[in-house]
Structure 1
Amino acid sequence: MSIMEENHGFMASERKWEMILKEWEFFKYTKKKPIKAAEVTSSKDEKHENVRYHSPQSDYLTISTKAPEEDSFLLEITNNAIAEAGSKPSPESINRLILLDRELFNNFCTKTCYTLQSDPVHQSIWRINVPQLAFSFDFVMHGILALSALHLAYLYPKKDFYVSRAQIHHQISLHRGGKLLPHMTQENCSGLCIFSILVAIYTLASPRKPEDFLLVGETGIAPWLLMFRGTHVIMESSLAALISGPLGPMYQDGFRRVQLRELPTNKPSTGEEQLNVLRHLIAETIPDRTTFDIYVKAIEELRKSFMAFNLYKYNHGATDAIMWVHRVPEKYLLLLRDREQESLCIFAFFCVLLDQMNSIWWGEGWSTHLMTQIHLLLNEEHRQWIWWPVRQVPILSN
């Protein structure tokens, strides 16, 4: 019995598998040979122009290199995942893992891509340009397969093997992409930037634990956020290449959004007015000027996000929330790690922006999850400070 069947209940009749294989023209490019191998490797048979994938205690799976370039690349990606898992799959299991990864890629290009942003231009970038980048950078391919697997796990929650597959691809993506981040160039900047965005979305889409606080953990700033903020600092040296590259329209819109945040406004939104009230409350209770200035900076960046969202709401709830995460002072995040009462109150206002993502599968539930934790951590006095955010975002009852 295959690994997928044993561990995850991923079962189908032989006839059904044959129908799927034929639909993807799988038999056109593959054939099996009963040759034993000692380890998971790949080798090329120059005479027959074949690539042979094999695993411990299993037969070779021979793939014709005359297959389309995309097929060969996806086979390499699957082989990476097999090696990462440290398993000993049978030839039948390898076939099914190959099919599974092709399913993930197809799902990303036909479904997941449309869920990442609602702007049609940006959707086209996710549907066409990002997969093209993935065939140049394997860490991007592993990233989109990981996210697609979580999407399918959301759509089909009983099939938990999607989550385990997502974790394998995500770990490979983190390992390979993370090593390149300090070495960003004009050639790889687009791949690394989309990689950091994929990691951020993957974090939001991953199954939550009760104690998850998104931006910080017990030891400090969350690793995904450190990487996300660091990437966007490094990429400043490659802005021209990014704007002229495959992600150009996304970054041009982002720059316009930054400019919009700096515009003066004659009619502040309710969120801006309530943030001003919060600022005065903090001023009355925080005698230390340094700490107060950190809070003021965090509130001001959040005010700009509320203002920009109020001026032009279409497609930008997620953008304005993530922009605050990127621009908020690092010292504020450390205060949030320590669960300082004032930092938690500011974070509650952030949850109002985050709630705009509640209709998206990968953002669903985060605003309520965080607001519930904030409410539990605050004392009675400071709970009164967040009466407006609590009205906007429901709290889970015990």
Structure 2
Amino acid sequence: MPTLRRPHRKSRGGCKECKRRKIKCDETRPSCFNCTRYSVQCNYAADKSKQDGIWSPPAQSSNSPPLDLSSEGFQQTRDQSSPGFSPFDSPSITQLGQSWGRDLELMHHYCTVTSNTMACQESARHVWRVVFPQMGYVHEFVMHGILSLAALHKAYLIPDKRNVYLTLSSFHHSIGQQTFTSLLPDVNCSNWQPVFCFATIIIAYVMTLSTQPSCHSQPETTPISRVLELFSVTKGIRSILLPFIPQLNDTRLAPLVTSVWLLSIDGALDPKPSLEQSVLPGDTFNALSCLRHVLCEHTPAYKKADYEKAVATLEISAVQTVCADVNVEVGAVLLWPFFLPDSIIADTRERKPLALVILSYYAVYIHTLDKSYWFLRDWGRRLLNDIEKHIGDAELFRELLEWPRRHIDGKA
């Protein structure tokens, strides 16, 4: 007589992770057996859009929606994918997400190599090397950002496979950007930290792209337009995350800020500290004083305050850089766009000479980190070359460009 098979009781109230894995959940709360076994977050909440799931490579890709935050001063981060290239000898980019081997390669490279190149101080490196991956294990879009950054680094290191890794980078960035964009309208106490992580990765992504030539599928871009993109992203992220910045010091992400903001800008600062041990040129403060004098004479009255603030912020950034000695974090060059008045950005977009002159002095700041960060390599020189093309033959502006040119060319 055949044995009767015991009927199987379906688990209809199982957790989201067991449902995703299509395995039986014992419905133990607060954490079921399977989630406890695999050390993952157990969630019995009603299904919602997949934004906090445990990371697994997506089965297919799609074009990322634009970061449409124009009301907040945040312009779309353009898709910089390489044209018509598939790293698997197939036109289907779907295979990118299905390649566990490739993604594991990128993750290993990020944890062992890339993360240590994103900062100088060990406390900040720890955030990139440990905290970001831990955030990515829980928040899929952060993991995609991590893999995108690793792929960009490998594209830089291995020129022969550059297109392979640029394609991978674009793929992961676009997938992560979709969730990031969907979260922006409702950044709150429960999600601001992963949003901050991906926002930081976006800034690094944009800065890295600034060293890449334009792809054929995009309108021609220039170093000035790329730096404007960086400014827009920085200002947009600032407007979104500013309410949560005071909480940052109480989180594991704090070193990303404390390693850069070494002095409170609200306190009394030494206006001209010695630059002897700094990466900045020794005559930086004198050059900024001369620049301020010229701008005061030639700037329209209604814009004088904004141009004065632009120069003053360069001076504050120099003071912060002095305090860092030779261990200057890349965030130091973001201090200026963080506080840059919108009118100066608008004048730069219109290629007005006075705004471009200030930008050329900022190019020197970028150039000082040229050898420290692979994603800034030769950016300051390219930016100054582009500025000179737009300045023309006006003697006054040409004279003001002598200081940036002398230090970027190393002839000081």
Category of TM-score, reference length = shorter chain: 0.7 to 0.9
1:362 is aligned to 2:362: no
Q: Once the two structures are superposed, what CA deviation does each residue of 1:313-346 show, in whole Å capped at 9, x if it has no partner?
A: 3322523211111111111000001111111111
Structure 2 counterparts to residues 203-352 of structure 1, below 5 A: 203-206=206-209, 207-209=212-214, 211-213=221-223, 221-222=228-229, 225-259=231-265, 262-267=268-273, 269-286=282-299, 288-316=300-328, 318-352=330-364
C-alpha change, 1:301 and 1:66, in structure 2 (3 Å) is closer
Amino acid at match of 2:342: E
Match of 1:79 in 2: 58
Bigger shift: 340-349 or 291-300?
Answer: 291-300
**Partner SS for 2:169:** helix
Match of 1:170 in 2: 173
**Partner SS for 1:375:** helix
Shift of 1:103: 0.9
Conservation of the 8 A alpha-carbon contact between 1:150 and 1:162: yes
Conservation of the 8 A alpha-carbon contact between 1:74 and 1:101: no
Larger relative helix fraction: 1
Shift of 1:44: 4.6
Gaps of 5+ in 2: 1-18, 27-33, 41-51, 65-85, 215-219, 275-281
Q: CA RMSD in A?
A: 3.4
Match of 1:144 in 2: 146
Bigger shift: 336-345 or 292-301?
Answer: 292-301
Shift of 1:259: 3.6
C-alpha change, 1:176 and 1:96, in structure 2 (3 Å) is closer
1:130 is aligned to 2:142: no
Q: Distance in 2 between matches of 1:115 and 1:345?
A: 31
Q: Distance in 1 between matches of 2:185 and 2:362?
A: 30
Bigger shift: 148-157 or 246-255?
Answer: 246-255
Q: Distance in 2 between matches of 1:344 and 1:131?
A: 39
Conservation of the 8 A alpha-carbon contact between 1:213 and 1:370: yes
Q: Distance in 2 between matches of 1:257 and 1:85?
A: 42
Shift of 1:365: 1.3
Gaps of 5+ in 1: 1-41, 50-63
1:390 is aligned to 2:390: no
**Partner SS for 1:125:** helix
Q: Once the two structures are superposed, what CA deviation does each residue of 1:220-265 show, in whole Å capped at 9, x if it has no partner?
A: x52x533432322333322353221220233334443444985123
Match of 1:190 in 2: 193
Q: Distance in 2 between matches of 1:121 and 1:47?
A: 42
Conservation of the 8 A alpha-carbon contact between 1:279 and 1:296: yes
Conservation of the 8 A alpha-carbon contact between 2:224 and 2:387: no
The correspondence for 2:391, drawn from 378, 386, 390, is 378
Q: Distance in 2 between matches of 1:261 and 1:330?
A: 24
The correspondence for 2:117, drawn from 102, 115, 118, is 115
Q: Distance in 1 between matches of 2:199 and 2:129?
A: 17
Conservation of the 8 A alpha-carbon contact between 2:54 and 2:140: no
Match of 1:46 in 2: 23
Match of 2:217 in 1: none
Q: Distance in 2 between matches of 1:196 and 1:367?
A: 23
**Partner SS for 1:263:** coil
Amino acid at match of 2:270: P
Match of 2:10 in 1: none
Amino acid at match of 1:112: T
Q: Once the two structures are superposed, what CA deviation does each residue of 1:270-291 show, in whole Å capped at 9, x if it has no partner?
A: 11111111111222223x2112
Shift of 1:295: 1.4
Residue identity (%): 22
C-alpha change, 1:188 and 1:96, in structure 2 (3 Å) is closer
Conservation of the 8 A alpha-carbon contact between 1:261 and 1:308: no
C-alpha change, 1:93 and 1:293, in structure 2 (3 Å) is closer
Conservation of the 8 A alpha-carbon contact between 2:106 and 2:150: yes
Conservation of the 8 A alpha-carbon contact between 2:55 and 2:137: no
C-alpha change, 1:321 and 1:95, in structure 2 (3 Å) is closer
Q: Distance in 2 between matches of 1:173 and 1:123?
A: 22
Bigger shift: 239-248 or 206-215?
Answer: 206-215
C-alpha change, 1:139 and 1:43, in structure 2 (3 Å) is closer
Match of 1:12 in 2: none
